Amino acid sequence: MNNFNIKIAFYSLVITTVCVLSEGCHSLNKTQKGAMIGAGTGGVIGGFIGKSAGNTALGAIIGGAVGGTAGAFIGHKMDKQAAEIKQTVPGATVVRQGEGIIVKFDSGILFDVDKTDVKPAAQVNLKNLAASLDKNPETNIMIIGHTDNTGPVAHNADLSVHRASSVKNYLVDNGIRRSRLNIDGRGETEPIADNSTVTGRAQNRRVEIVIMANDQMKKQAKQAGQ
């Protein structure tokens, strides 16, 4: 990305952020605003960090961030949990971003082709992830389903929602409070790779689990920074 494009990307991000966080958006919480920032800036955020995740995941982390000393406190906690997940959930890709964690599963690890039931072989991974989430209760979790661009758009959208819901239900069955979990299905709208190649389509078929500080952790972080 050349300097001119970087400037355009930066100002686009600033404009979108100001618009979303302005007086007209008081009805939205921070995570929802962040998701809108991610969607509004499109590939801009992805270009800066190598498109390691979809815009909704990145936007949720941006929208929930507190920054400053409190943000550093939260980041330290997330570093520890991310390291634990890397050790105990070998089927996942763990990405640390800002004040959050993105845990990515290729859909093929979790589901059979065009199916929404979690495969028996994948259940150990999700059980281990649930154990980590249970040990770190001061977080909220967003589960986001994605597909490649093969097949009808409406079918892909439904499939992504149902897969995210299946992961949510499995985590609830393994002791995670339902109130901590939200789902979203993005269908084929947030590719992280080239859909014209087999390898790219495989990367785009994924489930992202975003782990963010809840209000209690943010309060502790702010108190620790005083």
Instruction: Dump pLDDT digits (tens) for 147-176.
Output: 999 999 999 999 999 999 999 999 999 999
Contact present, 97 and 61 (Cβ < 8 Å): yes
Give residues with Cβ within 8 angstroms of 66, minimum separation 6.
74, 99, 213, 218, 221, 222
213 within some domain: yes
Can you tell me the distance from the alpha carbon of 47 to that of 49, in angstroms, rounded to the nearest whole number? Answer: 6
Structure confidence at residue 178 (pLDDT) = 97
CA atoms of 213 and 211, how far apart (whole Å): 7
Instruction: Tell me if 34 is assigned to some domain.
Output: no
Assigned domain for 54 exists: no
Question: Which of 18-22, 50-54, 137-141 shows the lowest per-residue confidence on average (mean pLDDT)?
Answer: 18-22
For residue 226, CA distances in Å to 48, 68, 218, 223 come to: 32, 11, 13, 5
- Residue pLDDT, tens place only, 179-215: 999 999 999 999 999 999 999 999 999 999 999 999 9
Verdict on whether the full-model pTM lies above 0.85: no
User: Looking at the DSSP assignment, which residues form a beta bridge with residue 207?
Assistant: 105, 145
175 lies in some domain: yes
Q: Which residue has the higher pLDDT, 12 or 92?
A: 92
- Residue 51 or 98, more confident: 98
CATH number of the CATH domain containing 148: 3.30.1330.60
In a domain, 130, yes or no: yes
| In-domain check, residue 151 | yes
Q: Please calculate the CA angle 199-115-123 and round it to the nearest 5 degrees.
A: 85
Q: How many domains does the chain have?
A: 1
Whether 81 is in a domain gets the answer yes
- Between 142 and 43, the higher pLDDT residue: 142
Residue 225 confidence class, pLDDT cut points 50, 70, 90: confident
**Of 212, 105, 211, residue with least CA distance to 164:** 105
Q: Does some domain include residue 31?
A: no
Domain that holds residue 133: 67-224
Edge-to-edge strands, sheet with 93-97? 93-97, 100-106, 206-213, 139-146, 181-185
116 within 8 A of 161, measured Cβ to Cβ: no
Q: Which helix (H) or strand (E) holds 141?
A: strand 139-146
